[in-house]
Structures are given as structure tokens and as C-alpha cells.
Amino acid sequence: MASRRGIILGGGAALLLAGCGARLPALGNLGEGNVFEFRTAPDPGWDAWVAAFRPRALASGIAPATFDAAFAQAGFIPAVIARDQSQAEFTRTFQDYLLSGVSESRVEDGRRAMARVAPQLQAIEAAYDVDQEVVAAIWGLESSYGTRKGDVPVISALSTLAYEGRRAAFFEEQLLASLRILQRGDTTPDRMLGSWAGAMGHTQFIPTSFESLAVDFTGDGRRDIWGEDPSDALGSTANYLRRSGWRRGEPWGGLASETAGGRLLSPPGMPPLRVFPNFDVIKRYNNADAYAAAVGHLADRLRGRPPLAGVFSSERPLSEAERIELQTRLTALGFDTGGTDGRVGPRTIAAIREFQAARGLPVTGFAEPSTLAALR
């Protein structure tokens, strides 16, 4: 979201991208954990911090009733501190991020999601002059098309991080923005849920970005990016991209061997890409090259275009049943995929790499027919 350079980005546990110098969100809140992990716990220091924060909030225009309602069920969340302090333990390569972000399951899910909300996406494209596929791609990367928006109470998460103090000014600013959102009536404290770092809704807006860029696309008087209907969230994302300079119908980029013009981008271990102004617009949403490439390429796949040659497998995609079989066989051999749901994410890619290395095969991480054949 806006102004996210050097801070936690997007939804889920932020991951450091090897060699990129920017933080990336977990794909679709991947690795977010569960609601039980993010339970509150007594902490007298947090209680004292909230008591000291209250007059500052009221002096900034927050009504006492708004503040008290917001904090009535809030509390200190130890797991938020643990997640914040452990981010640097995780690294991802540019290619691995693309393999996870634009997996066949994410493409398939995206096509179904787009069909489900086709009238809304068409209306949003017409209203904001932003390609509906790129809006859907951001939706897919940020929350797996609304299926993993995050279940952490935002007031608790942000107050915990502000109290922790490592980025106190930033998180206090986000907390004040959250209180203003509640005061405006866009949502209620119990519905204001998101990632452990405070990113919210279908497309994971941080509170200050929500304030400046969220829209009431449905016209019901509320900018509701949390509910089952994604219209306000998708409209808000399109508004964000339009305000950032999106050029409808123009490419984001592509393989340098197949594309002319633009500027050259050479990710480590990958074929070079050529990127265009829309690539930089996506980076306004999340300032990381791999994120922008994943959004752009996922949008291309949602249009029916093929995977990037040399980045993805040149073999046919596995069916869902085959992906489940691949995960099941890897797990049975001791290579942990983190589940057998047919979704090829970082754990599955890592398990494939470990299996390939153990068997003396080329280490690609590709979920492809030859990998499944080797497992059989």
C-alpha cells in the first residue's frame, strides 16, 4: 500500500525477498497462522501505554466513545511481536515468489473469482479506466481472492506494535487512522480484522491508505473492504492504481527476448525482463520488483496468456488431482509440503527442490509431470 517502503507490507507475515531489498507480503496471507495464535495476553506495560495514548488520541479528534469502544475488547498480542521480530529469518528468491504467486491453482482460482464478480469488475474497469485483470491479480496475491483476509483484530495488532516501539511513530499513525475509520462508521471494531501488521480486507489496505484512497463503490455509505462483497475493496484498488498513473491496455512488461522498449530488469537467476510504466505503478502498491512482476504476470495469465518461458515449467500444468498426488507423495517421503490441498506455495516448492536434490535431479522447484513421474 501507499508509502510502504521499508515497513511491513501487505497482508500476512512479511517476507524478505533475497537480493531485492524490499519486503514482500506472504501470498494471500500465507503463513498467517490461525486466530488462536493471535490471542491477547495480560501485559501491564501495554495497559499503561494505552492509558497514555488515550489523551493523545482524543487531542487528535477521536471521540471518547470511539476510543473506548475500539479498546473495549482489545489487548496485547505476543504473537504479533514474535512475527515482527522474526521476519528476517525468511528469504525468497524472485523466481520462487513468481512460482508461488502465479501458480496454476492461483490462476484457476482467479478465473473462477473473476467470473463470480464479473459485473462488478466490468463496472470498476469502466469507472476507473484500470484493467480488471490487474485489479483481480492484486486481489489474488493479497488475500487469495478474499479467502484469506486475516483474522487478527487490527486495533490490538497496531497498538501492540506501537507499544513495542521499534516503529512506534508509524504504527501509532496507523492506529489513529484506524480509529478515524471506526469513527466515520465504515466498519466496527469486531469487523476490523486483518493481518498481524494491520493490513486490512480483500486487498490489504493499511489504514492511512484506506483513508486517502478507499471508495464506497456500492454506494451504501460505507467503504467496506472487509465483507463478503469485494466491490468496495476492488474499486478502492482500482482507484489506487488510477491515482498512481495506470495506463489501461498497456503492458507491464515481459521477457526481454520477446519484448522491445521499456527498461531492462535482470533478476538474479532468471531471464531478463523489460518493464514499462505500469510496472512502476504496481510498485506504488507494493515497492518490490518481484511483487510487481507477479501481479503483472498473474494479470496476463488471467487474460489467457501462457506462463513466462524459462521462469515456469515448459511442461503442461498439473491438474488439481495431480498436484494433490504430488504433495501427498512428497509428504510420504518426508518432504513436508505443509498440506495436500493442491495449492503450490513456498512449502511445496521447497519440498520439490529438496526431493530433486536428494535424487540427483535438476533442482527446479517446478510442479510438473516429470516431477510427479519421478515421485511415482
259 and 339 both lie in a single domain: no
| Of 29-43, 192-206, 254-268, 336-350, the least confident | 29-43
Task: Summarize the confidence of residues 69-89 as an average pLDDT.
Answer: 88
Closest by CA position to 230, among listed 331, 79, 124, 111:
124
340 and 201 both lie in a single domain: no
Task: Summarize the confidence of residues 229-246 as an average pLDDT.
Answer: 98
Q: Which amino acid is at 3?
A: S
170 and 232 both lie in a single domain: yes
pLDDT band for position 86 (cuts 50, 70, 90): confident
Q: Count how many residues are written for the chain.
A: 376
Residue 170 has pLDDT above 90, yes or no: yes
Torsion, Cα 73 77 79 81, to 10 degrees, reads 140
Locate 18 and state its grid cell.
533475497
Residue 374 has pLDDT above 80, yes or no: yes
Q: Specify the 3-state DSSP secondary structure of 321.
A: helix
Residue 80 has pLDDT above 70, yes or no: yes
Calculate the alpha carbon distances from 246 to 129, 137, 237, 313, 348 in Å: 8, 14, 11, 30, 34
296 and 329 both lie in a single domain: no
Greatest mean pLDDT range, 88-102, 236-250, 335-349: 236-250
Identify the domain boundary among 277, 312, 347.
Answer: 312
pLDDT band for position 315 (cuts 50, 70, 90): very high
19 and 66 both lie in a single domain: yes
Per-residue model confidence (pLDDT) at position 166: 87
Identify the domain boundary among 271, 292, 312.
Answer: 312
217 and 76 both lie in a single domain: yes
If one compares 11 and 371, the residue with the highest pLDDT of the two is: 371
Per-residue model confidence (pLDDT) at position 90: 55
Identify the domain boundary among 312, 329, 345.
Answer: 312
Residue 11 has pLDDT above 50, yes or no: no
Q: How many Å apart are CA 24 and CA 54, to the nearest integer? A: 32
Residue 15 has pLDDT above 70, yes or no: no
Using a pLDDT cut of 90, give the percent of the chain over it. 85
Calculate the alpha carbon distances from 345 to 27, 301, 342, 362 in Å: 8, 17, 9, 19
Grid cell 502465479 — which residue? 102
pLDDT band for position 37 (cuts 50, 70, 90): confident
Residue 23 has pLDDT above 50, yes or no: no
| Of 11-25, 54-68, 182-196, 214-228, the least confident | 11-25
Total count of domains within the chain: 2
Per-residue model confidence (pLDDT) at position 85: 84
Enclosing domain of residue 341: 320-375
Task: Summarize the confidence of residues 5-10 as an average pLDDT.
Answer: 32
If one compares 14 and 267, the residue with the highest pLDDT of the two is: 267
pLDDT, the chain, mean:
90
If one compares 29 and 349, the residue with the highest pLDDT of the two is: 349
Q: How many Å apart are CA 265 and CA 256, to the nearest integer? A: 9
Task: Kindly state the DSSP code that residue 318 receives in the 8-state scheme.
Answer: P
Task: Summarize the confidence of residues 261-274 as an average pLDDT.
Answer: 94
The DSSP annotation for 61-107 comes to T--HHHHHHHHSS--B-HHHHHHHHTGGG-EE-HHHHHHHHT-HHHH
227 and 345 both lie in a single domain: no
pLDDT band for position 28 (cuts 50, 70, 90): low
The neighbouring-strand residues paired with 263 are 275
**Residue 254, phi then psi, degrees to nearest 5:** 170, 180
pLDDT band for position 87 (cuts 50, 70, 90): low
94 and 127 both lie in a single domain: yes
232 and 363 both lie in a single domain: no
The neighbouring-strand residues paired with 78 are none
Q: Which amino acid is at 284?
A: R
Residue 22 has pLDDT above 50, yes or no: no
Residue 117 has pLDDT above 50, yes or no: yes
* Residue pair 92/14 in contact by the 8 Å Cβ criterion: no
Grid cell 454506494 — which residue? 219
Per-residue model confidence (pLDDT) at position 130: 98
If one compares 87 and 313, the residue with the highest pLDDT of the two is: 313
155 and 187 both lie in a single domain: yes
| Of 84-98, 232-246, 259-273, 293-307, the least confident | 84-98
Task: Summarize the confidence of residues 306-315 as an average pLDDT.
Answer: 93
282 and 326 both lie in a single domain: no
| Of 29-33, 102-106, 192-196, the least confident | 29-33
Task: Summarize the confidence of residues 280-307 as an average pLDDT.
Answer: 97
231 and 324 both lie in a single domain: no
CATH of the domain at 282: 1.10.530.10
If one compares 86 and 253, the residue with the highest pLDDT of the two is: 253
Per-residue model confidence (pLDDT) at position 92: 78
